[in-house]
Amino acid sequence: MKYYLGIDSGGTKTKFTLADKQGNIVCNVMSQTTNYLQIGYDLVASNLQEGIQDLLETSKIKKEEIAKTFIGLASYGEIKADSDKVEACLKKGLDGLNFIAGNDNLCGWSGSLAGKPGINIVSGTGSIAYGRNAKNQEIRCGGWGHYFGCDEGSAYWIGSRLVKEFTHQSDGRSAKTMLYDYFVSNYMLRDDFDLLDLMVNQWKMDRTKIAQLCRTATELAQMGDKVALDIFDDAGRELANMVNTCIHQIEFGDHVAVSYSGGVFKSGDLILKPMKKYLHPSAVLTPPKFEPAIGGVILAMTYDGRKVTDSIIQHLMKTQ
């Protein structure tokens, strides 16, 4: 029996999904992130090894039975000077597996659109848009990282905006809303500047922890906080702008399927409504068919020369 493995490595976690050649999902396991820019090269290999070992033990199969693996790795291919070190980490971490590596945006696109032409917008810890048309032409927009205030519309960007708004409300540049009281109460700030101790000393400016503030933004927006609602409107506009830029770069025809992936979309209409409002008229917003790790399975099958039939897609849908 042949098996196919999809690995989706985002800014927060890495998911491993194993399926048989008919598209039946055999096993899902998780490990820590394998984003080398966050954790360093050594942990990339060890986190992959841990995930693979867990997968093999859970599924009761041997490495040799996995025909092809596709790994979508956060930040892959973006800094050319790092390429050799990244490849060495992947070979060590995936030792014995026949694998193809690409940026994690490929898993998002392949999963959300089941490998069909269109554009996927990722909004997780980071953000990026990736599209592929019927001629197999590719385009991406965004994905520059969080270092300079980029990764617009991402969970980190939303979390950072939330913190910025607190500082403005604290020192009087903006009127206080329930956002201010929420921060003081939930983070037990005896003094507003205790926020700096929380961020710098306790959280160590951890990108993942700041991204998790997106959940706070969601709670505040659901309670009707205008500032939080405005942040989501701005995030929707930023994400739509990336998609629209892709539409203008290559030919998609009169209608282009646009789907999405990443944790920010767990906020539902808070992000989807504003994004839809700003999207190009030709964009047809489509709920994702699969999560990114299954997108990796589809890519693994494709790179192995296996036609991903409707039957395979149906099996993936039944067992995801």
Q: What is the pLDDT of residues 93-140, one digit of tens each?
A: 999 999 999 999 999 999 999 999 999 999 999 999 999 999 999 999
Burial of residue 271, with CB atoms counted within 10 A of its CB: 0-12 exposed, 13-18 middle, 19 or more buried = buried
Position 10 scores a pLDDT of: 76
DSSP H or E segment with residue 180: helix 178-186
User: Taking Cα atoms as reference points, which of 93, 32, 29 lies closest to residue 58?
Assistant: 29
Position 39 scores a pLDDT of: 87
**Is 90 exceeded by the pLDDT of residue 318?**
no
Interhelix angle 104-112/292-303, rounded to 10 degrees, is 90
Q: What is the mean pLDDT of residues 151-174?
A: 98
pLDDT tens by residue, 203-215: 999 999 999 999 9
Q: Give CA–CA dist 34/72, Å, rounded.
A: 10
Q: Give CA–CA dist 308/174, Å, rounded.
A: 54
Q: Give CA–CA dist 159/217, Å, rounded.
A: 7
Q: What is the mean pLDDT of residues 42-49?
A: 92
**pTM greater than the 0.85 cutoff:** yes
